[in-house]
Structure 1
Amino acid sequence: MSRHHHHHNHTSTQPDWDAMGPLLESKAEVESPLYRQAAAWLGELTPPAGVRRVLDVGSGPGVLTTLLAEAFPAAETVAVDPTPQLLERARARAERAGVADRFQALRAQLPGDLSGLGSADLVWAGNMVHHVGDQRTALADLGALLRPGGVLAVVEGGLPTRRLPRDLGIGRPGLEARVDAAHSEWFAAMRADLPGVKDVVEDWPALLAAAGLTPSGSRTFLLDIPAPAPAPVREHHVAFFERLREAPGGLLTDEDLAVIDRLLDPHDPEGLLNRADTFLLTAHTVHTARR
């Protein structure tokens, strides 16, 4: 949801990744427990001692790259992203985590540069394939990076995130359901604007099989942080709603925007930082396949 363009402008549907860096980073940090479980599952599918190179394709700020480096201690782990500022964040994170000696950052345009990434025992593509017009070809290109027996893990789907009660006590009940509807509309426009876009049924195991891989299971990982949510979660909620507030006009009603303004007000007793009823409930699905 780029803030720089009017809604009818072609580029308005494509995210401004650099501007989104802090939000992407805080989201992945808050969701780390879920991703640690996913990494542990991947360690059951492919023994960590045998994994020498891991590619995190569309790594963003590298939260997952570092988690994968921790889960696969014998591997060189590579953050792959087109945005230099996000790769800088990834580098700094690898330093802080003490894995910089086996971390690499590769700037690559996706999907165009996929073939130049070199081979790997594990390829992780987290919410990246849906940003490529031709998802079927992208999966085949990702699969082609695998060494024999290697695993491709594609994060797509799951459940919409919930942060607040259905009835907040301000505005019309069901705010988050309307936010989901607005996001679906934006997502459809974002997909429609991608170069070379092709519609496919989003049956990920079938798409992985069509890419010449052998599906090895899909699993959904749940994150449940009950109310009252701790400060980092609330701060992430604030960042999420601030980003939403900057979205192109027309997706949410003025009434809902007024409610969001109150949620963002640090001095309002109904604000996100002051409510005792904010929580975080979400789920992400990881689809895997072997070469």
Structure 2
Amino acid sequence: MFALWPALPDARTMTDHHHGTTTPAPEHGHDHGQGNGHHHDHTHMDWDALAAYLEGEAEFLTPLLEQATAWLRDLLTQSSGPGPDEVRRVLDVGSGPGVTSCLLAQAFPQAEIVAVDPTEALLGRARERAARLGLGDRFRTQVAELPDHIDAVGDADLIWSSKALHHVGDQAAAVAALARRLRPGGLLVASEGGLAPRFLPRDFGIGRPGFQARLDAVQEDWFAQMRAALPGSRAVVEDWPALLTAAGLRSPHSRSFLLDLPAPLAPAGRAQLTLLLSRFAEKAGDDLDEEDRATLARLLDPDDPAGIARRPDLFWLSAQTFHTARAA
């Protein structure tokens, strides 16, 4: 995807036919026609090519992720299960290049951290990051897919899975597979949902007002097609606390955290937003009408005074939701 946007694929957490059970959200096999007579390939992602983008994206989200890991420590302190300093093994399922895995290692300094992902190239980046941070002796990686191969990873006191479950055809089965790997009193954390980012005023001076709402609508359509194309896809009400309790877990909690970067957005944020919109233009730009495509082109033009590179009113505001529940 864009993990920052809830519809185009979060490549670091998707699996593909080369690994076995689940298909990557966009691309491989099925060619879905979308508006304007254009066709998009929704079933293949080149994870190796996306690795640097995904790593930069996760680094951009770090302030939000640090809030979430601090909240998890508080939850564990208040619980009857293992306290934060008693957590001995943590799984990051759908870890990608390991940015969050390393944050979890810092939040739980007594724990072994296992970054789990179907793509070895991304796990290689995770190992390199862990080594740079001095985590090598308690950090390891494992190639595995959700849900079919997760049992081989072993048990844990804390299992974290961010934006991975919605790339599995049977999301309830994926939740149940993770729940089985929890030790008594252990905590499962599933990050799904939130709010799509906002980065411009409703009327920002070019094109029709409401541009971002129309981007959201395109992404929602794309996401529905992606879900329908997954092997074994099953429709489910995405009530994540209910899915967690149906898997036998208890005491569900949900909490959302903001990434709030006011205008003017710093150069690093502008660079990340440029990549985000560029990928949107590549994957779904044809589904916008002519005027919105022209607006998107102007936003991506580094020489246009109204573009992302130069606008003084550019900001970033998004939310990511985390759902937790505990094993008996």
Match of 2:206 among 164, 167, 170: 170
After superposing the two structures, state which structure 1 stretch, 29-38 or 11-20, moved more. Answer: 11-20
Out of 28, 39, 45, the position equivalent to 2:69 is 39
Residue 154 of structure 2 is matched in structure 1 by: 118
**Structure 2 residue identity aligned to 1:42:** L
Query: Contact 1:58/1:80 (CA < 8 Å) preserved in 2?
Result: yes
How far apart, in 2, do the equivalents of 1:3 and 1:194 lie?
10
| 8 Å Cα contact 1:23-1:240 kept in structure 2 | no
CA contact 1:18–1:86 (8 Å) conserved in 2: yes
Equivalent position amino acid for 1:22 in 2? A
Q: CA deviation at 1:222?
A: 1.1
**Which residue of structure 1 aligns with residue 57 of structure 2?**
27
The amino acid that maps onto 2:288 is L
Write out per-residue CA displacement over residues 34-79 of structure 1, whole angstroms, 9 at most, x where no aligned residue. Answer: 1101101111222221011110001111111011000000011111
- The residue identity in structure 2 corresponding to 1:229 is L
* Letter in structure 1 aligned against 2:47: W
Q: How far apart, in 1, do the equivalents of 2:251 and 2:64 lie?
A: 22
2:188 to 149, 152, 158: 152
Higher alpha-carbon deviation: 10-19 or 24-33: 10-19
Q: In the alignment, residue 116 of structure 1 is paired with which amino acid?
A: A
Q: TM-score scaled to structure 2, two decimals?
A: 0.84
Q: Does structure 2 conserve the Cα–Cα contact (< 8 Å) formed by 1:108 and 1:114?
A: yes
Say whether 1:81 aligns with 2:81.
no
Alpha-carbon offset, residue 18 of structure 1 = 3.4
What is residue 5 of structure 2 aligned with on the other side?
none
1:7 to 1:199, Cα distance in 2 relative to 1, 3 A: closer
Paired position in structure 2 for 1:237: 273
Contact 1:214 1:289 in 2 (8 A): yes
List per-residue Cα deviations over 1:8-51 (Å, max 9, x = no partner): 47952554433332332222211111110110111122222101
Letter in 2 for 1:226: P
Output the CA distance in 1 between the equivalents of 2:169 and 2:306: 41
Where 2:283 maps in the other structure, the secondary structure is: coil
The CA RMSD measured in Å over matched residues stands at 1.9
> Are 1:282 and 2:318 an aligned pair?
yes
- Partner of residue 172, structure 2: 136
Runs of 4+ in 1 over 6 A off after TM superposition: none
Change (3 A) 1:159 1:215: same
**1:195, 1:77 → 2: CA distance?**
30
What whole-Å deviation, never above 9, does each CA across 1:220-257 have from its counterpart, x for those lacking one? 11111100011111110000011011114642123222
SS of the equivalent of 1:219 reads strand
5 Å matches for 1:253-268? 253-268=289-304
- Calculate percent identity across the aligned residue pairs: 55
Alignment correspondent of 1:219? 255
Give the structure 1 partner of residue 79 of structure 2: none
Which of 134, 152, 168 lines up with 1:98 in the alignment? 134
- The secondary structure found in structure 2 opposite 1:247 is helix
Partner of 2:22: none
Match of 1:207 in 2: 243
Change (3 A) 1:235 1:249: closer
Secondary structure in 2 matching 1:246 = helix
User: What is the one-letter code of the residue matched to 2:87?
Assistant: V
Secondary structure of the equivalent of 1:277?
A: coil
Deviates most, 226-235 or 4-13: 4-13
Q: Distance in 2 between matches of 1:4 and 1:204?
A: 28
How far apart are the structure 1 equivalents of 2:51 and 2:261? Answer: 23
Structure 2 match to 1:53: 89
